[in-house]
Amino acid sequence: MLTIESHVSLKPYNTFHIDANARYWVEITCEEDIYTLLQLTEFVDTPKLILGGGSNVLLCQDFDGLVINVNIQGIEVIRADDDHTYITAGAGVNWHKLVLFCVEHGHAGMENLSLIPGTVGAAPMQNIGAYGVELEQVFESLTAVHIQTGEKRTFSHADCAFGYRESVFKRELKNQYIITAVTFRLDKHPVFHTRYGAIRETLAEMGVSDDTLSIQTISEAVIRIRRSKLPDPAEIGNAGSFFKNPEVPKPQFDRLKAQYPALPGYPVGNDLVKIPAGWLIEQAGWKGYRTGDTGVHAKQALVLVNYGNATGNDIVTLARQVQQSVQEMFGVLISPEVNIV
């Protein structure tokens, strides 16, 4: 039975641990719950916020509407061919749980995305990525229900219009659909991605050679790296990477490289070079900075943190200061990856 609660604290439901409140709250555990909810006429015109694991959201105020927590579970292998295995997961499935399932069963493609916080339903919205791999590389399709009409629709890869930490669900279709399930295309013949970040170095420290390289060892390396650099949201409030890595034209990158020889960069096509935002922030002097309960993490400058009682607006104020500082020093604008509500 669908239960709608009133005046619910969202602090346990966002990894920044911001103490904001929802006027109304409901948990969705199956697709039928959505149709039941949409038939409640008293909520037709109520503003709605779709919330998964709350790992990529910054709440700056109470939400005077209905928060819909999507908790649809289930992982199922639906078909396979000579090269691929297709797996469907419910939108509420923990992302890392799905990655571990794939790694354990030899389904390749997700291993570099290990330990990313959040849920399956949020992953395509953000086109999550890490260590040289993005979700769109393993994405097949998703199903979603239109909030106003109740129409169920299947979105193909092309329909999602993926970009760098972007999709149609963050732009034209923002807040219009509830994603219920996502289908992934995993490889039977792995292609290993070990060039990005510290993966090769970490694999060497683990004693892994080319002969023993596997999706399991890559996943273990990524987990080791993330745990060494990123704060556990259960201990310190954060949403992982707060800013996107900026992409700049190669001539601009070359000028910056001449001025800052240690500047890292990764060609991404179209004569663009991706620069690690964390490096820029650290060079601008923000790494380890703290004011009150708000700060920049001491081990990873890309992560803004709530040490206890920071508000969403406190975090936003710090983010803007960091942005301005980086732009003044490098002439590069870094943009938030986190969704600010």
Mean pLDDT, rounded, for 94-118: 96
| Six token digits for residue 270 | 């179209």
CB 119 within 8 A of CB 70: yes
Question: Which residue type does 328 have?
Answer: E
Residues 282 and 326 in one domain: yes
Instruction: Give a yes or no: residue 328 inside a domain.
Output: yes
Closest CA to 267 of 243, 250, 246: 250
Q: What is the CATH number of the domain that holds 106?
A: 3.30.465.10
Q: Choosing from 134, 165, 219, 220, which is the catalytic residue? A: 165
How confident is residue 210, by pLDDT bands cut at 50, 70 and 90?
Answer: confident
Residues 137 and 159 in one domain: yes
Q: Are strands 272-274 and 247-249 parallel, antiparallel or unpaired?
A: antiparallel
Instruction: Give a yes or no: residue 160 inside a domain.
Output: yes
* Residue 207, SS3 per DSSP: coil
Which of 70, 103, 124 is the C-terminal boundary of a domain?
Answer: 70
Residues 111 and 156 in one domain: yes
Closest CA to 119 of 54, 193, 61, 184: 54
Give how far Cα 112 sits from Cα of 35, 102, 196, 197, Å: 36, 12, 10, 11
Element (H, E) at 249: strand 247-249
Instruction: Give a yes or no: residue 124 inside a domain.
Output: yes
Residues 56 and 135 in one domain: no
Q: What is the CATH number of the domain that holds 34?
A: 3.30.43.10
Residues 52 and 107 in one domain: no
Instruction: Give a yes or no: residue 199 inside a domain.
Output: no
Residue 273's domain comprises 237-340
Q: What is the DSSP string of 263-285?
A: ---EEEETTEEE--HHHHHHHTT
Residues 64 and 113 in one domain: no
Q: Choosing from 55, 114, 167, 241, which is the catalytic residue? A: 241
Evaluate if residue 185 carries a pLDDT over 90.
Answer: yes
Closest CA to 49 of 160, 310, 57: 57
pLDDT in tens, 130-181: 898 999 999 999 999 999 899 999 999 999 999 988 999 988 999 899 999 9
Instruction: Give a yes or no: residue 135 inside a domain.
Output: yes
Residues 317 and 247 in one domain: yes
- Percent helix, strand and coil across the chain, each to the nearest 5: 30, 30, 40
Q: Is 165 a catalytic residue?
A: yes
Intra-chain end-to-end CA distance of the chain, in Å: 29
Q: How many helices (H) and strands (E) does the chain have?
A: 9, 20
Residues 250 and 325 in one domain: yes
Instruction: Give a yes or no: residue 215 inside a domain.
Output: no
pLDDT in tens, 215-271: 999 999 999 999 988 888 889 999 988 999 999 999 999 999 999 999 999 888 889
Q: What is the pTM of this model?
A: 0.86
Evaluate if residue 1 carries a pLDDT over 90.
Answer: no
Residues 64 and 86 in one domain: no
Which of 187, 204, 227 is the C-terminal boundary of a domain?
Answer: 187
Evaluate if residue 44 carries a pLDDT over 90.
Answer: no
How confident is residue 283, by pLDDT bands cut at 50, 70 and 90?
Answer: very high
d(CA 100, CA 118): 14
Total number of domains constituting the chain: 3
CB 109 within 8 A of CB 102: yes
Element (H, E) at 238: strand 237-238
